[in-house]
Amino acid sequence: MYKILRKGLLAATGVAGLGLILAGSTASAETLDEVLARRGLSQQDLLAAAKTYTPTGKRDEFIVFSSGGQSGQVIVYGVPSMRILKYIAVFTPEPWQGYGYDEESKKVLAQGKIDGRDVPWGDTHHPAITETNGDQDGQYLFINDKSAPRIAVISLHDFETQQIVVNPIMQSEHGGAFVTPNSEYVIEAAQYPGVLGRGFAPLSEFNEKFRGAVTYWKFNREKGRIEPENSFSVELPPYTQDLSDAGKLVSDGWSFTNSFCSERYVGGIERGRPPFEAGCSQNDTDYLHIINWKKAEELYKAGKFSKINDHAVISMQTLIDEGVLALVAEPKSPHGVDVSPDGKYIVVGGKLDTQASVYSFEKIKAAIDAKKFAGKDAYGVPIIALEDALHKQVPLGLGPLHSQYDSKPCVVYTSLYVDSQVAKWDYCEGKVLDKISVHYNIGHLVAMEGETVHPAGKYLIALNKLAIDRFNPVGPLHPQNHQLIDISGEKMELLYDMPLPLGEPHYATAIAADKLKPLVRYKYGTDSRTGEKHPDAVRPGSEKVERNGNKVKVYMTAIRSHFTPEIVEVEEGDEVEFVITNSERAQDETHGFAISTYGVNLSLEPGKTATAKIKADKPGVFSYYCTEFCSALHLEMTGFLVVKPKGFVEQASTGAEGQAYTQADYDKQFKTNTDTQAVIDSVVTYITSMNFKDFPDAVALVEDATDQLKFAGEAKAKAEDFAKKQDWQNATLWAGQWWQYQVKAADIGLRVKTYLEQNGAKKVQ
Ligand code: K7E
Ligand code: CUA
Q: Is 521 in the pocket of ligand 1 (CB under 6 A)?
A: no
State whether 215 and 179 are in the same domain: yes
Ligand nearest to the CA of 563: 2
At 283 the pLDDT is 87
The protein residue whose alpha carbon is closest to atom 6 in ligand 1 is 443
Ligand 2 mean position, distance from CA 183 (Å): 40
Q: Is 401 in the pocket of ligand 1 (CB under 6 A)?
A: yes
State whether 544 and 510 are in the same domain: no
Question: Is residue 617, in this structure, part of any structural domain at all?
Answer: yes
Spatial distance between the Cα atoms of 474 and 476, rounded to a whole number of angstroms: 7
State whether 293 and 407 are in the same domain: yes
At 658 the pLDDT is 82
Residue 190 contacts residue 212 (beta carbons within 8 Å): yes
Ligand nearest to the CA of 558: 2
Ligand nearest to the CA of 604: 2
Instruction: Point out the ligand 1 atom lying closest to the alpha carbon of residue 335.
Output: 4
Instruction: Point out the ligand 2 atom lying closest to the alpha carbon of residue 631.
Output: 2
Residue 226 contacts residue 219 (beta carbons within 8 Å): yes
> Cβ atoms within 10 A of the Cβ of 546, count?
11
Contacts of 186 (CB under 8 A, 6+ apart): 128, 142, 151, 176, 177, 178, 179, 216, 217, 219, 226
Instruction: Point out the ligand 2 atom lying closest to the alpha carbon of residue 629.
Output: 2
Question: Is residue 110, in this structure, part of any structural domain at all?
Answer: yes
> How do 567-571 and 638-644 pair as beta strands?
parallel
- The identity of residue 593, as a single letter, is F
The protein residue whose alpha carbon is closest to atom 1 in ligand 1 is 506
Spatial distance between the Cα atoms of 244 and 187, rounded to a whole number of angstroms: 8
DSSP string, 534-601: PTT---TT--EEEEETTEEEEEEEEETTEEESSEEEEETT-EEEEEEEE---STT--EEEEETTTTEE
> Cβ atoms within 10 A of the Cβ of 590, count?
21
Q: Is 424 in the pocket of ligand 1 (CB under 6 A)?
A: no
Pocket test for ligand 1, best of 444, 461, 481 (most atoms within 8 A of CB): 444
CATH at residue 92: 2.130.10.10
Spatial distance between the Cα atoms of 753 and 150, rounded to a whole number of angstroms: 49
At 10 the pLDDT is 44
CATH at residue 530: 2.60.40.420
State whether 689 and 730 are in the same domain: yes
Pocket residues: Cβ below 6 A from ligand 2: 561, 591, 626, 628-630, 634, 637
Ligand 2 mean position, distance from CA 747 (Å): 15
Ligand 1 mean position, distance from CA 97 (Å): 27
For 159: left if phi > 0, alpha if psi spans -120 to 50, otherwise beta; the answer is left
Ligand 2 mean position, distance from CA 702 (Å): 20
Q: Is 328 in the pocket of ligand 1 (CB under 6 A)?
A: no
Omega before 698 within 30 of 0, i.e. cis: no
Question: Is residue 114, in this structure, part of any structural domain at all?
Answer: yes
Spatial distance between the Cα atoms of 327 and 381, rounded to a whole number of angstroms: 7
Q: Is 507 in the pocket of ligand 1 (CB under 6 A)?
A: yes
Residue 606 contacts residue 581 (beta carbons within 8 Å): no
Ligand 2 mean position, distance from CA 480 (Å): 34
State whether 489 and 572 are in the same domain: no
- HEC secondary structure over 101-115: CCHHHHHHHHHCCEC
State whether 472 and 501 are in the same domain: yes
Helix (H, G, I), strand (E, B) or coil at 487: coil
Ligand 1 mean position, distance from CA 335 (Å): 8
Question: Is residue 271, in this structure, part of any structural domain at all?
Answer: no
State whether 599 and 718 are in the same domain: no
DSSP code of residue 454: S
Residue 665 contacts residue 719 (beta carbons within 8 Å): no
Contacts of 692 (CB under 8 A, 6+ apart): 698, 699, 702, 752, 756, 761
Question: Is residue 605, in this structure, part of any structural domain at all?
Answer: yes
Ligand 1 mean position, distance from CA 210 (Å): 23
Q: Return the exposure string of 602-618: e unless at least 16 CB atoms fall within 10 Å of the residue's CB, then b.
A: bbbbbbbbbbbebebee
Ligand nearest to the CA of 590: 2
The C-alpha R_g of the chain, in whole angstroms, comes to 31
State whether 340 and 479 are in the same domain: yes
Ligand 1 mean position, distance from CA 401 (Å): 8
Of all residues in the chain, the percent with pLDDT exceeding 90 is: 88
Domain count, the chain: 3
Question: Is residue 38, in this structure, part of any structural domain at all?
Answer: no
Helix (H, G, I), strand (E, B) or coil at 35: helix
Inter-CA distances, 454 with 79, 136, 350, 407, 509, Å? 18, 9, 26, 7, 14
The count of C-alpha atoms lying within 13 angstroms of the C-alpha of 636, restricted to the half-sphere facing its C-beta, is: 9
Q: Which of 483, 430, 487, 479 is nearest to 458 (CA)?
A: 487
Inter-CA distances, 511 with 90, 176, 185, 226, Å? 20, 19, 20, 22
At 652 the pLDDT is 73
Ligand 1 mean position, distance from CA 258 (Å): 13
Ligand 2 mean position, distance from CA 134 (Å): 43
Pocket test for ligand 1, best of 125, 258, 464 (most atoms within 8 A of CB): 125
State whether 564 and 511 are in the same domain: no
CA 536 remoteness from chain centre: 27
Spatial distance between the Cα atoms of 602 and 153, rounded to a whole number of angstroms: 22
Ligand nearest to the CA of 628: 2
Give me the residues of the chain with pLDDT under 70, please: 1-28, 653-656
Q: Which of 447, 451, 244, 450 is nearest to 348 (CA)?
A: 244
Q: Is 443 in the pocket of ligand 1 (CB under 6 A)?
A: yes
- Burial of residue 549, with CB atoms counted within 10 A of its CB: 0-12 exposed, 13-18 middle, 19 or more buried: exposed
Give, in degrees to the nearest 5, the angle at Cα 669 between 665 and 673.
170
Instruction: Point out the ligand 2 atom lying closest to the alpha carbon of residue 627.
Output: 2
Ligand nearest to the CA of 258: 1
Inter-CA distances, 628 with 522, 543, 750, Å? 18, 22, 21
Spatial distance between the Cα atoms of 261 and 287, rounded to a whole number of angstroms: 9
Ligand 2 mean position, distance from CA 593 (Å): 8
Residue 335 contacts residue 350 (beta carbons within 8 Å): yes
Range of the structural domain that residue 725 is part of = 663-758
- The identity of residue 170, as a single letter, is M
State whether 680 and 741 are in the same domain: yes
Ligand 1 mean position, distance from CA 506 (Å): 5
Instruction: Point out the ligand 1 atom lying closest to the alpha carbon of residue 507.
Output: 2
The protein residue whose alpha carbon is closest to atom 3 in ligand 1 is 125
Inter-CA distances, 81 with 85, 405, 459, Å? 11, 22, 11
Omega before 561 within 30 of 0, i.e. cis: yes
Ligand 2 mean position, distance from CA 637 (Å): 6
Helix (H, G, I), strand (E, B) or coil at 13: helix
State whether 509 and 572 are in the same domain: no
Question: Is residue 16, in this structure, part of any structural domain at all?
Answer: no
The protein residue whose alpha carbon is closest to atom 1 in ligand 2 is 591
State whether 193 and 313 are in the same domain: yes
Question: Is residue 247, in this structure, part of any structural domain at all?
Answer: yes
For 532: left if phi > 0, alpha if psi spans -120 to 50, otherwise beta; the answer is beta
Q: Is 125 in the pocket of ligand 1 (CB under 6 A)?
A: yes
Ligand 1 mean position, distance from CA 445 (Å): 10
